[in-house]
Amino acid sequence: MGHRGVVITAGFDKSEAATCLAELFKQNGIPVNGIMVVSPYSVLRIKYYLKKKGLSSITQSIRRLKGFQKNDSGNTPNHINQFRIEHQISIDSLKKWANINHCKIITVASLNSDQSIHFLESTDPQWLVYSGGGILKQPIIDQVDGQILNAHQGPLPEIRGMNAAEWSILLDKKQEVTIHLIDRGIDTGKIIKRLPYTIDKKDNIESIREKAIIKGVEGLIEVGSQDSLVRYDIQENHSQYRQCYTLSNAMRELLNAKLEYLKSRSADV
Amino acid sequence: MITDKLEKHLQLSIDWLIKSKQPSGGSSAYHAPLLGWIKPYPETTGYIIPTLIDYHHYAEDQLAIRTAVDFGEWLLSIQSGEGYWFAGQHPPKKQEPSVFNTGQILFGLISLYKETKDSKWLTSLDKATEWLCSSIDRNGYWKEGHYRGFNPTYYSRVAWPILLASTVLDNDTYRNKAILVLDTLIKKRNPNGTFSGWGFDEHGSAFTHTIAYTLRGFMESSILINDWESYGAKTERALQKFYTLSELNNGRLDGEYNEQYSGKKTYSCITGNFQIALCLMRWYEKNNDLRLMNSASKLIEYSVKCQTSTDSILSHKGAIPGSKPFWGRYMTLRYPNWSAKFCADALLLFLKLYKKESDRWDIEES
């Protein structure tokens, strides 16, 4: 049986990771059966951000949703831009990409909605490739028989949850992206592949995150291009490690200090 | 720098605590709009003393240490002949001995003895501890001297200073009595990690203030007797829950929780937030997981924003309200001295641990 193609999720239309995934799957000859974009403008989502993170998070999100670069410092390379140039990816919108490539695309209020489940039913992918859009619940996991790939920006099982690239530095863990299956837990699904990366003297937090995104895209393209996982040494994951959350202001300051220190000590960290 | 900001909050808290000193000698229980400073409160005056001494060591503040000694002198002057202190503010409406208040004053006496080596603190400490221990029955309960007629689980925070006193006084009887109390109280732990009776009432919701009293009492007692498993480990489930709740709500905990962790969302108990932050930081010191510091710093960053920076009809420079909003259920429309105390304690510990973590990487000042 051949590869049945992939469906990609995204948290917003201009998601850099998702556009890279769509284009690179195409370049690899893997059909992109569909794209599911979560509407960033749903009342629920705006209410959530207002309640949890305040008004400033809304303005920050709008900048990101509109595709403004976060890492525009003159001294630090923009790794994602370089990656896009290397792979000749010029398109910056999933809707445009889907239109040009005659690919099904839907905008949903939630990845867990009935609309999403019907979409997956009709597109019947080999893999649902997760590239943002919120936590997945059991019905959608069941719909694709758990065949959901995620690129987590830190080493599992030690660093699970949010800001994983940052926490890897703070907790003295390896810098690596973990490709794993998604299950009901937070980053607790089986581990498929690990992709280490290095930090160099020009990096800052944003550029490190970009490196992790690129590694994640590479890993998802490699694994998602297979029609099974037989070639991988699948490892059980464990959830006994404490879940990570977004860094507090104080911890972010500590992280920047640690990063400067590490960079001052060697070229590659 | 966030640490610079936190240092300013720390100094404001200490300055306010020093200002809380009343002509009689104790620290006013609270400041309230229109009412101003209220009568002094022996219980909290007692446990503010170590805060002032710690700050003196941190910032070489002479006024802080002088105030701590003055607070101590006042407490000696109102100690009963039997060794206890009365419940409530001073002078009390009813002359009733208080187990909890007497226990909290031990913290002050121990700190003053360690700082000055003056035997008068030790004499008072011995008398108070003797009274506390002689009132414990064979089942580990006090028969009288309660706030609301029962032995609350936050008496773990009485066992803790008794253990401290037993070390300073080299008295195994006191130590054994404290352990008897802890063994009795730990049985009130529910399978989900909450404790029955950890609030001011025997049943129902508890303020995070008394929840943190309970957890910290068990944690510190375990550390003192070098036996984490018996009590400290049994607080971990609740601590993990508050770690997560703080993270999910960006440093805001509900003001009170019932025994199923269902919170009262209408207000946050600012005092309790600082105390839970202290518990998380003490847990971090035990297991070195920096994630706990993240959660603690969110609680601190959220709560210090409630500190008032000016004097006006409703505010009082440096004061920390009991609740957010100010009219929340815990210490409604008041600035308790223990809010400022736990704020200062949390900031002192946070700044110490932050520096320790920075020093670990040998970061050079830029």
A253 in contact with chain B, both atoms CB, cutoff 8 A? yes
Mutate to test the interface with B, among A171, A242, A266 (most CBs of B within 10 A): A242
* Chain B interface includes A53 (CB < 8 A): yes
Is A244 in Cβ contact with B291 (below 8 Å)?
A: yes
Chains A–B, number of C-beta pairs less than 8 Å apart: 64
Looking at residue A239, its pLDDT comes to: 73
**Confidence at residue B97, expressed as pLDDT on a 0 to 100 scale:** 96
Rounded to a whole number of angstroms, the distance from the CA of A168 to the nearest CA of chain B is 11
Question: Residue B362 — pLDDT band, cuts 50, 70, 90?
Answer: low
Tell whether A250 is within 8 A of chain B (Cβ): yes
Retrieve residue B296's tokens: 């603690």
User: Tens digit of pLDDT for each residue in B179-189?
Assistant: 999 999 999 99
Q: Is the pLDDT of residue B2 over 80?
A: yes
Percent of chain B with pLDDT over 70: 99
In the predicted model, is pLDDT for residue A61 greater than 60? yes
pLDDT at B148: 84
Terminal-to-terminal C-alpha distance of chain B: 13
| pLDDT at position B268 over 70 | yes
CA distance A73 to chain B (A): 20
pLDDT tens readout for residues A234-255: 999 877 899 999 999 999 999 9
pLDDT reading at B228 higher than 60: yes
Report CB contact under 8 Å: B297, A251.
yes
Average pLDDT, chain B: 96
Residue of A nearest to B354 (CA): A254
The arrangement of secondary structure in B2-361, i.e. its CATH architecture, is Alpha/alpha barrel (1.50)
- What pLDDT does residue A73 have? 54
DSSP bridge partners of B47 = none
For residue B289, give the chain A residue with the closest CA: A171
Q: Of the given ranges (A12-16, A199-203, B306-310), which has the lowest mean pLDDT?
A: A199-203
Q: Does A244 touch chain B (CB under 8 A)?
A: yes
* Tokens read off for A85: 């140039």
Whole-angstrom distance, CA of residue A94 vs CA of residue A87: 17
Residues of chain A positioned with their CB less than 8 A from the CB of B243: 242
Q: What is the pLDDT of residue B285?
A: 98
pTM for this predicted structure: 0.92
| Winning range, highest mean pLDDT, from A58-67, A251-260, B272-281 | B272-281
Which domain covers residue A78, as residue numbers?
6-265
pLDDT higher than threshold 80 for residue B40: yes
Residue B365 has pLDDT above 50, yes or no: no
Residue among A244, A246, A254 whose CB faces B358 most closely: A254
ipTM, 2 dp = 0.92
Partner residue facing B293 (CB), from A52, A251, A257: A251
Collect all residues from B whose CB is shorter than 8 A from any CB in A: 1-3, 6, 240, 243-244, 247-251, 289-295, 297-298, 300-301, 350, 354, 357-358, 361-364, 366
Q: Which residue of B has its CA nearest to A261?
A: B363
Helix (H) or strand (E) holding B57: helix B42-59
Look at residue B240 and tell me whether its pLDDT is greater than 70. Answer: yes
Query: Nearest-CA distance from B174 to chain A in Å?
Result: 38
CA atoms within a 13 Å half-sphere pointing along the CA-CB vector of A6? 29
Q: What is the pLDDT of residues A141-161, one digit of tens each?
A: 999 999 999 999 999 999 999
Q: Tell me what pLDDT residue B105 has.
A: 98
Which residues of chain B make contact with A249, given a CB cutoff of 8 A? 2, 297, 301
pLDDT of residue A267: 55
CATH number, domain with residue A182: 3.40.50.170
Residues of A in contact with B357 (CB under 8 A): 254
Tokens for B311? 């004097």
Q: Which residues contact B107 (CB under 8 A, 6 or more apart)?
A: B46, B47, B49, B50, B161, B164
A51's CB contacts (< 8 A; 6+ apart) are none
The reply to whether A1 falls in a domain is no
Q: Least CA distance to A166: which residue of chain B? A: B291
**Does residue A195 surpass a pLDDT of 50?**
yes
The alpha-carbon gap from B297 to the nearest alpha carbon of chain A, in Å, equals 7
Residues in chain A closer than 8 A to B352 (CB atoms) = none
> What are the structural domain ranges in chain B?
2-361
Strand-pair partners of A9 = A36
Overall average pLDDT of the A96-122 stretch: 97
Residue of B249, B294, B362 with shortest CB distance to A251: B294
Structural contact between residues B16 and B340, judged by C-beta atoms closer than 8 angstroms: yes
Q: What is the pLDDT of residue B332?
A: 97
Chain A residue closest in CA terms to B252: A52
Q: Which of A53, A171, A261 sits opposite B250 (nearest CB)?
A: A53
Instruction: Count how many domains chain A has.
Output: 1
Mean of pLDDT values over B265-287: 98
Residues of B in contact with A171 (CB under 8 A): 289-291
Q: In this predicted model, what pLDDT tens digit does every residue of B110-151 receive, in sequence order? A: 999 999 999 999 999 999 999 999 999 999 999 988 888 889
**Per-residue tokens: A35:** 């794209």
Kindly state the average pLDDT of the residues B218-225: 98
Give mean pLDDT, residues B256-278.
97
- Residue B366 confidence (pLDDT): 44
Comparing CA positions, the residue from A12, A20, A29 lying closest to residue A88 is A20
Closest residue to B297, CB basis, from A171, A242, A248? A248
% of chain A beyond a pLDDT of 70: 85
With respect to residue A139, please indicate whether it lies within any of the assigned structural domains.
yes
Question: Which of A171, A244, A261 has the CB atom closest to B363's CB atom?
Answer: A261
- The verdict on residue A93 lying in a domain is yes
Mean pLDDT over B40-56 rounds to 98
Report pLDDT for A62: 63
- pLDDT value, residue B86: 96
Rounded distance, CA A109 to CA A242, Å? 30
Set of chain A residues whose Cβ sits within 8 Å of the Cβ of B358? 254, 257
Q: Taking each helix axis from N to C terminus, what angle separates B337-360 and B270-287, rounded to the nearest 10 degrees?
A: 30
Residue A26 maps to a domain: yes
Please give the Cα distance from B151 to B276 (Å, whole number).
22
pLDDT tens sequence across A40-51: 776 666 666 666
pLDDT at B361: 74
The answer to whether residue A236 is domain-embedded is yes
Distances (CA, A) of B339 to A25, B112, B216, B275: 58, 22, 16, 9
Q: What's the pLDDT score for residue A45? A: 65
- Contacting residues of B for A57, CB less than 8 Å apart: none
What pLDDT shows up at residue A46?
67
Task: Indicate yes or no: CB of A249 within 8 angstroms of CB of B358.
Answer: no
